[in-house]
Amino acid sequence: MSHFTALFDACVLYPAPIRDLLMQLAMTDLFRARWTQQIHEEWINNLLQNRPDLTREQLERTRTLMDSHVRDCLVTNYESLIEGLNLPDPSDRHVLAAAIRSQTHVIVTYNLKHFPTDILAPFGVEAQHPDEFISHLIDLSPGEVCKAVKRQRESLKHPPQTAKQLLETLTKNQLPEAVKRLNEFVELL
């Protein structure tokens, strides 16, 4: 397993297609995936607020599956670091605290403005958009990433999706560069 560690912010766990892809990628061992119970609560609560068709039980099942399928994913004992951190949005301090505690290299987030480089750099942490993060993984190991995307596509049953349809979904979820690169391998997906 790689020692490179990525912490997923709640915003990248909120949209199911991105969460599913990130979970499939986390199981490749190309990197260590991390998150906290607080991050879980954030994406679950936001999803319940915006999707009345979902139940807490459904999302708790997703949480349990995530935690059981990704080795050593939960960061703990980071809370004492929160108070001493300064970010543009104070509600994101718990994410940086967890990144510091887990010696994370990258925080994967859509909210790059919430994690300024000058604040993260002294901790050896960088914020990356999921498109950039996944594109780097494709550069590192295109075969493993293609296998992960294929597993994601094959898990979709209601409705099933072709590789092209899944790539369209990922494009709609702000992954244009990763999709551009994956299109080169569409027959493997």
pLDDT in tens, 104-154: 999 999 999 999 999 999 999 999 999 999 999 999 999 999 999 999 999
Packing angle of the helix pair 130-140, 142-155 (nearest 10 deg): 120
In the chain, CATH 3.40.50.1010 covers: 5-134
CA atoms within 13 A on the CB side of 33: 28
- Return the CATH architecture of domain 5-134: 3-Layer(aba) Sandwich (3.40)
Distance CA 29, CA 158 (A): 28
Question: Cis bond leading into 159, ω under 30°?
Answer: yes
Q: Which of the residues in the chain have pLDDT under 70? A: 1
Point out which residues pair with 108 in neighbouring strands. 8, 128
pTM metric for this prediction: 0.96
